[in-house]
Amino acid sequence: MIIRRALPRPGLPAPSQCLRFPRQQRTLATSPGPESDLARHGKVLPTEPPARSQGHRIRPVTADRPFTLKDEFENFQNFRKQSSHTGSRLSRHYAPYKHASRPPSPSDLTLELLMASGAHLGHATALWNPGNQRYIFGIRNGIHIIGLEHTLSHLRRAARVVDRVVEVFGTVLVVGTRAGQERTVVQTAEMMGGYHLFTRWTAGGITNARQILAGEKVVEINDLGEPNPSGPMEDPIPVRPDLVICLNPLENYVLLKECGQFGIPTIGVIDTDADPTWVTYPIPANDDSLRCISLIAGVLGRAGQAGLRRREAEVAEWKLEGEQEDEEAMMEEEEQVEDEQMEIKNWEDFENYMKKREALQDEQLKEINKIQEDLPSTPTLW
């Protein structure tokens, strides 16, 4: 559609003049810019490399050899690397983001840390579920405040459950389907060698798993962690989780119900508006705060990691045991072979001896016969 007011008016620069300005590009601050600028600055640029005292060397820029973006980027990286240790350093300060990437272990957990993560903040009092009465500390500004002693003790109990389940080869599923929980969920599952779910739970994933999980690959693994060399199974029976950690039970009622039907224990973060009977091991805490959720998931992940490490140590022990048994079996086999060989040798000796003896006896017999033949015949008396 023609836009009539686009006509140039006196006093304003013509569109053709506007075009002279290059389009904004993402470049680094030290970029030499277009060629005209380079020529203008060409005189003042140093022709020799800068002194080493500057820390990083940059080759001289000339009109025929301008910096490419790659050079710029590498220089920038070098500069960052070398200057990263300069300046003042803050120590012993609260950096909440660290709990997401390096979560504390259950034993390092404190009430202060939970409070700093906002774990105590519940929902408006009108929204409460009376099942949470014993976890609630009080009311402030119209919202329920969760007692953090309960949070801490329940979280530690859940951590022990995770630890032990992972140690005995349990399959742990970590579920967090709210926006922003994806990385927390994936990281937690990774720490404990478990499974993650950050998208909607497909209803029937446990009760109708034959249909829902058809075509998903399952492999047989022996006690030493070695997979079946012939690859994944053909048409396997679907695997069920042995423990489900749910970071937002309110949105995952279907999953929790399926777990209940199959007796799969569940751990869930229960806010003041959630029903604590939906899960086996509730953790009363604020499920709307990503910081709180990442802290809780991180603690559970650490617990699972400890269990995983113990399990790996145990498997390594079994492996060693198996190797020793194999060695013993080999030794026994060798001994048996030696015994048999000795036996055969003895038998052969015996046979030779007997042959010799027979031969000797034959000779003696022959001699006796000969002597008897040579004797003069005695006259018969009758």
**Would you say how long the chain is, in residues?**
382
Stretch that binds another protein, among 13-21, 48-56, 121-129, 297-305 (CB under 8 A): 13-21
Q: Is 43 in the site for another protein (CB under 8 A)?
A: no
**Residues near 287 by Cβ (< 8 Å), separated by ≥ 6?**
247, 248, 249, 250, 269, 270, 271, 274, 293
Please give the residues from 215 up to 274 whose contact with another protein meets the rule CB under 8 A. Answer: 215-223, 227-230, 232-233, 236-237, 239, 241-242
Q: Is 39 in the site for another protein (CB under 8 A)?
A: no
Q: How many chain residues touch another protein (CB under 8 A)?
A: 62
148 vs 144: CA distance, rounded Å: 12
Q: Is 196 in the site for another protein (CB under 8 A)?
A: yes
Nearer to another protein, 9 or 52 (CB): 9
Which one of 45, 69, 337, 365 is in contact with another protein (CB under 8 A)? 69
Which one of 10, 11, 12, 14 is in contact with another protein (CB under 8 A)? 14
Please give the residues from 270 up to 299 whose contact with another protein meets the rule CB under 8 A. Answer: none
Q: Is 331 in the site for another protein (CB under 8 A)?
A: no
Which one of 61, 190, 260, 273 is in contact with another protein (CB under 8 A)? 190
Q: Which value, in Å, is the radius of gyration of the alpha carbons in the chain? A: 42
Neighbour count for residue 190 (Cβ, 10 Å):
14
Which one of 78, 125, 202, 289 is in contact with another protein (CB under 8 A)? 202
Q: Is 330 in the site for another protein (CB under 8 A)?
A: no
Between the CA of residue 123 and those of 184, 247, 282, what are the distances in Å?
23, 16, 17
Least distance between another protein and beta carbon 36 (Å): 17
CB–CB of 222/229 below 8 Å? no
Give the DSSP H/E element, type plus range, for residue 72: helix 69-83
- In the numeric block, the tokens 């029903």 are attached to 275
Nearer to another protein, 73 or 262 (CB): 73
285 vs 136: CA distance, rounded Å: 10
Least distance between another protein and beta carbon 70 (Å): 4
Nearest to 296 by CA among 194, 156, 179: 156
Three-state DSSP class for 46? coil
Q: Which residues pair with 246 in a beta bridge?
A: 175, 268
Nearer to another protein, 8 or 49 (CB): 8
Q: Which residues pair with 243 in a beta bridge?
A: 172
198 vs 184: CA distance, rounded Å: 9
Which one of 35, 59, 65, 73 is in contact with another protein (CB under 8 A)? 73
Q: Applying CB under 8 A, which residues contact another protein?
A: 1-3, 6-8, 14-16, 18-19, 23, 25-28, 68-70, 72-73, 168-171, 173, 186, 189-190, 194-197, 199, 202, 205, 212-213, 215-223, 227-230, 232-233, 236-237, 239, 241-242, 314, 321, 325, 329
